[in-house]
Amino acid sequence: MTEHRPADTQGELKADGLTVFYGQHQALDHASLRVRAGEIVVILGANGAGKSTLLQTIAGLVPRSSGSVRLGERVIGTLKSHQVVESGLALVPEGRGIFGELSVEDNLRLGAYARRARGSEQENLERVYSLFPRLAERRRQIARTMSGGEQQMVAIGRAMMSNPTILMLDEPSLGLSPLLAKDVFRTLAEVRKTGLGILLVEQNAKQSLAIADRGYLIETGQIVAENSAQALMNDPAVQRAYLGGAAEAPAAPTAKAPPTPTRATAATAQQTAAPAAHSEVSFAQPAPRTVDRVSVQQVAGQSVEDLIASAEARQRQAWTSAAGPNSDATAAGSAAPASTGALDDMLRRMENAARTASTASARPPAAPAMPTRERSQQATPDDRKPEIEVYRRPQLEIYRREDDGDAQGELKLISKHRV
Ligand SMILES: Nc1ncnc2c1ncn2[C@@H]1O[C@H](COP(=O)(O)OP(=O)(O)OP(=O)(O)O)[C@@H](O)[C@H]1O
C-alpha cells in the first residue's frame, strides 16, 4: 500500500466550546473535542443528541453561535465549507452523497477538486485503489449499482481524494449488513495507518469502539464524557447504554431528576435512559433461534415510502394541534392530516410480527416536540411496545433484526428519514 503523507501530519483538529441553535432549539452546548493525526475518535450518543450537528459545525456547514475550530495552527472555524476542505478536513456525510449515475472513478475524481489535491490526483487515486481493491476492480461500474458497503467505500475514497489530514464520517455503517459494516470498519483502521485522523459518529458502538483510540459521549448537545475506547468499552454504564447490555439496565430515572441536569447528572441520565431509547421491542419470551425474514411490505402491507408519508402526515397533525392556531408549526404543517387509525393499525401489526418473527421492526416518529431529557425520564426499559422516539423534527427509523444465530439477534438501523 502506498504510504499517504498528508500535507500537515501534525494537524490536530481542535473544536472548543461549540454552541449551535436551530431557531430556539439548542443543538450543541459548548461541545469540545480533539482528534490527532493517526487516531480514530468516535462520538457516541442517542438519537438527536447532536452528533451530526457537531460534525457539520466543524465542517463549516452549520453556523455556530460560539466556539472555535482549529486544524493544526490554523483557525478554520471562520472559513466557508469549501475552504475547510482546502485546509485538510473532509466529511463523509450520512447517506454517503455519492453520484449514483456516475462511475466509481468519476465519483472518486470529483473528490479531487480541492486545490490542495489537484496536483496529486492520480497518486491519490492509486492510494484509494490500493486501500479499496474492490473499487479498483469496479472503477467503471455505475455507482448506484454497487452494494451499500461498496458505495460507502466510494464515499470514503472520494473524501480521501481531497488529501485530508482529518476525515470525519457520519454513521458510515448505516444500512449495511454486519459483514459489510465489518468491512468498512476494517477499512477505516487501514485508513488510520496512512496517518489520517478519523472522527467517527456511529450507532454501532461495539464495532466502532473496537477500532477507535478514544471516544466521547454526547447528550442533548453536551459532551458528557471522554475516555479511551478501551475504558469506554469496559464501562458498565456504556455497556448498558450502547453495547447491548440493556437487559441488565436499571430502571430509567424517574421525575426525581432535576429539570436542568448538571453535566454529571446528564451523563447519568444518558447512560441509564439510553437503553430504553435504543431498544425496539421487548420480548416476553426469548425470540426463536431460527426465523423467517419479513419485509416491511409483508408486515405492514405498505411500502416504506407509504409508511414514511403517513408517519409524516401524522407528525404534522400532532405538531399542528400541539402548537396552536397561530404558531409557525401550524403554518408549516398545514397539509391535510392523515388518518391516524391506519398507521396505528399498521404499527400494531408490525409489533406483532416483530414479536413472533423477531426479524423486522420499525420505529415511527410520533407525538409533538418534547425535550430529550423529558423523554429520558419517561422511558421504561421493559415497555413491551415498540419504543416511540420523540423528536423535534419528525423522523422515521427502520430497523432489521439480524439473524446471526444469536437468540435475540441484533437490531440494525437500516435507514433514517427526516422531514
Ligand atoms: N436543520 C435542523 N433544523 C432544526 N432542528 C434540527 C436540524 N438538524 C437537527 N436538528 C435537531 O437538533 C438536534 C440534534 O440533531 P442531530 O441530527 O445533530 O442529532 P444526532 O445525534 O446526529 O441524531 P441521529 O443519531 O438521530 O442522527 C435534534 O433535536 C434535531 O431534531
Domain extent, residue 119, equals: 13-233
Assess whether 228 and 350 both reside in one domain.
no
Q: Describe the strand order of the beta sheet including 395-402 as a list of residue ranges.
A: 360-363, 395-402, 410-418
Q: Which atom of ligand 1 is nearest the CA belonging to 54?
A: 18
360: in domain = yes
Same domain, 309 and 204: no
| Same-domain check for residues 153 and 297 | no
Whether residues 197 and 294 fall in one domain: no
Q: State how far the Cα of 416 lies from the Cα of 395, in Å rounded to an integer.
A: 7
413, β-bridge pairs:
399
Distance of CA 50 from the midpoint of ligand 1 (Å) = 6
Please give the C-alpha separations between residue 372 and each of 46, 381, 392, in angstroms, as whole numbers. Answer: 10, 16, 9
Question: Which cell goes with 383?
Answer: 415497555
99 part of a folded domain: yes
Query: Tens of pLDDT along the chain (419 residues)?
Result: 444 444 444 689 999 999 999 988 999 999 999 999 999 999 999 888 999 999 999 988 899 999 999 998 888 777 777 777 777 888 888 776 788 888 999 999 888 777 776 778 888 899 899 888 889 999 999 998 988 888 888 999 998 888 889 999 999 888 778 888 888 898 899 889 888 999 999 888 888 999 999 999 999 999 999 999 999 999 888 888 877 654 333 333 322 222 233 233 333 333 333 333 332 322 233 333 333 444 555 555 666 566 666 666 665 666 555 555 544 433 333 333 344 455 555 556 665 655 554 443 344 433 333 333 333 334 444 444 444 433 444 455 666 666 555 556 666 666 665 53
Instruction: Check which CATH number belongs to the domain holding 131 and give it.
Output: 3.40.50.300
- Which strands make up the sheet holding 66-71, listed edge to edge? 25-35, 13-22, 66-71, 74-75
- Across 11-41, b (16+ Cβ under 10 Å) vs e yields bbbbbeebbbeeeeeebbbebebbbebebbb
- How many CA atoms within 13 Å lie on the side-chain side of 333? 26
Q: In this structure, is residue 248 part of a structural domain?
A: no
CA 49 to centroid of ligand 1, rounded, Å: 7
Q: Which residue has the cell 452546548?
A: 29
Sheet of 214-219, strand order: 89-92, 166-170, 197-201, 40-45, 214-219, 222-228
Q: For residue 63, give every residue at least 6 positions away whose Cβ sits within 8 Å of its Cβ, in sequence order, or none.
A: 20, 57
Residue at 199 is within a domain: yes
- ipTM confidence: 0.97
Whether residue 240 lies inside any domain: the answer is no
How far, in Å, CA of 353 to CA of 82, rounded? 47
Instruction: Judge if the beta carbon of residue 186 lies within 6 A of ligand 1.
Output: no
Beta-strand pair 197-201/40-45: parallel
Count of structural domains, the chain: 2
Q: What is the pLDDT of residue 16?
A: 95
Distance, CA 293 to ligand 1 centroid (Å)? Answer: 31
- 3-class DSSP assignment, residue 419: coil
Please tell me the distance between residue 147's alpha carbon and the centre of ligand 1 in angstroms.
Answer: 27
Q: What is the DSSP code string of 138-168? A: TTTSBGGGS-HHHHHHHHHHHHHTT--SEEE
Among candidate residues 201, 233, 265, the one where a domain is terminated = 233
30 and 168 together in one domain: yes
Question: Do 46 and 270 form a contact (C-beta atoms < 8 A)?
Answer: yes
DSSP 246: G
Query: 370: Cβ below 6 Å to ligand 1?
Result: no
| H or E segment and range at residue 311 | helix 304-323
User: Which ligand 1 atom sits nearest the alpha carbon of residue 94?
Assistant: 27
| 51 within ligand 1 shell (Cβ under 6 A) | yes
Other C-beta atoms closer than 10 Å to the C-beta of 9 total 14
Name 226's bridge partners.
216
